[in-house]
Amino acid sequence: MTSERVKKSAIWLILAFALFLRLYYVLNETYEPVEWDQKNYTTMTVQMIEDGVYGYLDTKPNTYVTPGFPMFLYVVFKIFGYSDIMHTHMIVRVIQAFISLGAITFIYLIGKRLFNRPTGWIAALFAAFYGTYVWMASLILTETLFLTCFMGLMYMQVRIIQENKKWDHLIGGLLLGISVLIRPNCIVVAPVPYVFLWFQERRLCLKEISWGVGMFIVAMLPWWIRNYMTFHEVILLSKEGSGNPFLGGTDPYHMGTIDWSKVNYDDQFGEGLRRIKQGLKEDPWLWIRWFTVGKFKDMFIHHIYLGPYPNFMGNIYGVFLKCFHLFLVYAGIFFSMIGMFINKSVRFLAVNFLIMLGVALLFISEARYTIPMMPYLMITTAAVIVWAGQWAARRFAGRRV
């Protein structure tokens, strides 16, 4: 086997390893009936099939959640049935185990394009055994589907910056629309490649922007039409979904300062804004600390989105998974904050990370929100490992001479 064939086959070995970990866990874990959001998505999907009503947590139509993940479940439920819902959930989990390989592939391609092939390998390997990414394949939630689509979007953004071809903008706009239909908060990264293009070419690239915006509209149009025909108003994303997590994020360090019995549930977003204004007047340092360092530590350090996976894999491996997560966080943040001033590729990753982090800090501090941010840290850390290895190899070779 030639050296080039070995290089190309390496990513397939990593993907096979990743699939093994996911299927091993998904097929051997013991599951209880789903609860909370997993149950809500299931109930919603059955309601869509039986009653033709798109409504989350309600028997009437609403826009509480965007339709990306519910429509994925709808297709699976229609094809495989749902009379035995536990069996159907297992089918969803197995499908998601395969879908997750898409995210790992895109992480590899991003690392390869921004830096080099070894960086792509290492970053993909990180994603392959990163505990959160293995466990979330078992969840009837948006995470696996979203991460794959979002990493596809990130890959197209890299291509836009590096090659600026028409198809890159078209596919990027389409992937942005699909990603937004799964998790709307990712829309904030849409301008990033065009800002980088402006710095590169010193022009606004309006023609290229119009290509991306056009395909984004194509992806979003069915949702917009449904909302207008149902509610007779323009609803671009969702109308009810952001208020509760935003208000929940206005309880500094979980001190229980929100009296939910007095909350106007029709204006939770407004109540959250009032709490922030009042908090900044009464104790500005507490609230500034909470909405920056406090929430960051809560999401990335104090809580890790692993569920029962560490217990399933055993105590030693469970400790390793937690230590590995902390290594990625500390190393990734450190190298990103330094490297963004030195290297353009690191700057691209760091800017996207900081934008996604800024949005996450507005809402309730939930470790689940770190999922789309970790690939940036994985790729940056992998790049530094490769750079360090190359530097050490040169030093060693110099000494031998």
Give the mean model confidence (pLDDT) for residues 6-12: 86
Q: What is the pLDDT of residue 222?
A: 98
pTM of the model: 0.96
pLDDT in tens, 269-293: 889 999 999 999 999 999 999 999 9
What distance in Å separates the CA atoms of residue 119 and residue 155, rounded to the nearest whole number? 15
pLDDT in tens, 128-153: 999 999 999 999 999 999 999 999 99
Q: What is the pLDDT of residue 201?
A: 86
Residue 401 has pLDDT above 70, yes or no: no
3-state secondary structure the chain: CCHHHHHHHHHHHHHHHHHHHHHHHHHHCCCCCCCHHHHHHHHHHHHHHHHCCCCCCCCCCCCCCCCHHHHHHHHHHHHHCCCCHHHHHHHHHHHHHHHHHHHHHHHHHHHHHHCCHHHHHHHHHHHHHCHHHHHHHHCCCCHHHHHHHHHHHHHHHHHHHHCCCHHHHHHHHHHHHHHHHHCHHHHHHCCHHHHHHHHHHCCCCHHHHHHHHHHHHHHHHHHHHHHHHHHCCCCCCCCCCCHHHHHHCCCHHHCCCCCHHHCCCCCHHHHHHHHHHHHHHHCHHHHHHHHHHHHHHHHHHHCCCCCCHHHHHCHHHHHHHHHHHHHHHHHHHHHHHHHCCCCHHHHHHHHHHHHHHHHHCCCCCCHHHHCCCHHHHHHHHHHHHHHHHHHHHHHHHHHHC
Tokens of 370: 């770190």
Give the mean model confidence (pLDDT) for residues 10-16: 97
Residue 394 has pLDDT above 60, yes or no: yes
Domain boundaries, the chain: 3-241+283-400
Give the mean model confidence (pLDDT) for residues 161-190: 97
Q: What is the pLDDT of residue 336?
A: 98
Q: What is the pLDDT of residue 7?
A: 76
Give the mean model confidence (pLDDT) for residues 175-192: 97
Residue 261 has pLDDT above 90, yes or no: no
